């Protein structure tokens, strides 16, 4: 067979020379290598205290966005559910009642909005499909859990905090990937 790379090396099966049989020089060389590594900088990142920077295209947990006045953007049009290749999104629409104008931006809103995080493949197609910029993927992981039920995220898990009432939490949850509007 023709060699695919020029890195292959034939195994040397000659009997060991006296120098090699002494083991010690080679051992000393190896110990030098390990000692060098002993003093090298460690690439470990202490996870909860330090985190690795996310890349700009990282797609993590979904966020249901609000507008500047704190109203939900989602109108339950269902385009995200249609776009979802993993069929992870379920929703139920409802009509906005009188006096709920400060809660929902449009006349129709999502009464129930669920994403099954075990099905989701974090492709970001829902984000692309959304005409209202109501959903986007942020820079967070899905935390581990013990039951399958707990991986079905409802509206309370997905909705971003109110920018008017809780501006600090809102800024924290917003992340880098939110559309600047």
Binding site for other proteins (CB under 8 A): 27, 30-31, 33-35, 37-38, 40, 42-44, 46
Q: Provide the pairing of β-strand 135-137 with 62-64.
A: antiparallel
Let me know: does 148 contact 114? Beta carbons within 8 Å: no
**Least Cβ distance, residue 142 to other proteins (angstroms):** 23
Largest CA distance in the chain: 95
Q: For residue 77, say whether it is annotated as part of any ligand binding site.
A: yes
Q: For residue 123, say whether it is annotated as part of any ligand binding site.
A: yes
Question: What residues are paired with 79 via a beta bridge?
Answer: none
Helix (H, G, I), strand (E, B), or coil: what is residue 50?
Answer: coil
Residue 43 vs 143, nearer CB to other proteins = 43
Let me know: does 72 contact 103? Beta carbons within 8 Å: yes
**Least Cβ distance, residue 15 to other proteins (angstroms):** 13
- Dihedral class, residue 70 (left if φ above 0, else alpha if ψ from -120 to 50, else beta): left
Q: For residue 61, say whether it is annotated as part of any ligand binding site.
A: no
Residue 42 vs 180, nearer CB to other proteins = 42
Q: Give the H or E element holding residue 62.
A: strand 62-64
Q: For residue 64, say whether it is annotated as part of any ligand binding site.
A: no
Residue 36 vs 165, nearer CB to other proteins = 36
Q: For residue 84, say whether it is annotated as part of any ligand binding site.
A: yes
**Least Cβ distance, residue 7 to other proteins (angstroms):** 23
Q: Which residues are annotated as a binding site for [4Fe-4S] cluster?
A: 74, 77, 80, 84, 120, 123, 126, 130
């Amino acid at each position: 067979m023709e060699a695919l790379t020029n890195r292959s090396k034939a195994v040397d099966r000659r009997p060991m020379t006296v120098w090699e049989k002494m083991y010690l020089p080679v051992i000393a060389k190896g110990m030098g290598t390990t000692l060098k590594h002993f003093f090298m900088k460690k690439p470990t990142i202490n996870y909860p205290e330090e985190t690795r920077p996310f890349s700009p295209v990282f797609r993590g947990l979904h966020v249901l966005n609000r507008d500047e006045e704190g109203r939900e953007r989602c109108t339950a049009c269902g385009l995200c559910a249609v776009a979802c290749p993993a069929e992870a999104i379920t929703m139920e629409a409802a009509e906005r009642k009188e006096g709920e104008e400060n809660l929902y931006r449009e006349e129709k809103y999502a009464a129930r909005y669920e994403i099954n995080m075990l099905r989701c493949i974090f492709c970001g197609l829902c984000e692309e499909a959304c005409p209202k910029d109501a959903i986007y993927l942020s820079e967070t992981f899905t935390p581990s859990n013990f039951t399958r039920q707990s991986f079905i995220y409802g509206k309370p898990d997905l909705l971003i905090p109110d920018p008017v009432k809780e501006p600090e939490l809102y800024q924290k949850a917003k992340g880098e990937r939110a559309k600047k509007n």
